Amino acid sequence: MNKDPLTLVIFGATGDLYQNKLSTALFNLFSSGLLPSEFRVVGFARKPMNNSEFQNFTRSAIFEKNKNADPEKIKVFLKLFSYTQGDLVDLEDFKNLGNSLAEDDGKRGFCTNKLFYLAVPPALYASIFSNIAAAGLTIPCAPSTEDRKGAWTRVLVEKPFGSDLAEAKRLDKMLGELFNESQIFRIDHYLAYLAKGIVDQILNFRFGPKETESSWNNKNIQNVKIIFHEKDLVGKRGAFYDSVGAFRDVGQNHMLQMLALVAMENPLYQKTGGIHKARQKALEEAGLRDEYPIVHGQYEGYLKESGVKDGSKTETFFRLNLFLNNPKWEGVPFILEFGKALNKSEVVIEVCFKQIKTCLNFPVSNEDTLRDAYEKVFYDCILGDQTIFTSIGEVIAEWAIATDVIKKWQSVPLVIYKKGSKAEDIQ
């Protein structure tokens, strides 16, 4: 772990993401000795709250997830936390935050690395990026503190990055004016969760000591299936889910990342830049073909879920075929299939071979020493390791595919299926 002093600023620190995920992940890292020794957290949100109240809020969130948490360890942990009330769209509040950070660094006598976490709806990204820049928060060291060679600022951004291709490009242009690509960490928490499971399985299988890369092509592989099946309904996520749909929620990011992992060329010993470029190239080569139908459906009763609009056509199921436009993969369908309210839950990548007429299954493994995805998100970001994060090139390529998919199924009838259906019965 990088032991350099670090200040973590969480925008939206009173929201559900912080309460349900981030607070516990940070405590687990702290308990495991995986945070810098000089570490502090600054919560930033509109809700009126003082430092003590924010610490109590964090304590309750941790105990809600871990009833057996050590009270004494939590007591020490919470001393690292402070709170700044502010509006996410108000520049003056960001300037006040900057003054507070500078004052605290001044008391320490040295500047700390700065990590900004946007635990907010994507609609607020543009305002926050603009205010971060205007308030001078992209500069890690305040004028009154000793400059420290190598001090950095980084930004963690939750998915989805943009709502479509145009929005993703607009946000990227704005971010590019504030940070360089090495400072931007776009989170795909599902990829983080899989990082020590299915991701490593595939990389080791393809490029490990007994690599099978010579047979990893259209001469030997019949098809590749990327399957995300869920028994769950949309539940309390009705309003959010209805605004994005299944494909934007998991297809455009998680499933396309899995496709890229299977299809990419050898990423030059798995260096971060190599992995990003290899995944991006695979995504840029992937696309629909007119002769292969798209299926998109909605489970019976979806329209009665809380937050769902009357007459909504939002999909809870989809199946589509993507093909890569290169000699290695020509003619091999990559079948992406996702559904809610199905008869079983499973996440698996299935690679089916021609001659031996068998399929290799890469099921999700949760044997991750950092079991919670957000622990790995924080840990890798602090280290500066971008492997599990997505580059802007990958994001743009994903949105290009998504735009084509969404446009195509506007002319395809929405299939209504019964809860508990088998995926293969939905046509």
Amino acid at 62: I
Angle formed by the axes of helices 200-207 and 256-263, to 10°?
20
Tell me 299's DSSP state: E
**Containing H/E element for 227?**
strand 221-229
CA atoms within 13 A on the CB side of 164: 7
Cβ atoms 333, 319 nearer than 8 A: no
Residue 362, beta-bridge partner list: 349
| Catalytic-role residue among 189, 229, 254, 276 | 254
Question: Helix, strand, or coil here: 327?
Answer: coil
Give the bridge partners for 347, in sequence order.
228
Which residue pairs from 401-407 have beta carbons closer than 8 angstroms and sit at least 24 positions apart in sequence?
401/252, 401/256, 401/283, 401/286, 401/287, 401/288, 401/322, 402/164, 402/165, 402/247, 402/248, 402/251, 402/252, 403/164, 403/165, 404/287, 404/288, 405/247, 405/251, 405/288, 405/294, 405/320, 406/247, 406/248
Burial 238-277 (b: 16+ CB within 10 A, else e): beebbbbbbbbbbbbbbbbbbbbbbbbbebeeeebebbbb
Q: Is 254 a catalytic residue?
A: yes
Q: Can you tell me the distance from the alpha carbon of 190 to that of 212, in angstroms, rounded to the nearest whole number?
A: 26
Question: Would you please indicate which residues are annotated as catalytic (active-site) residues?
Answer: 254
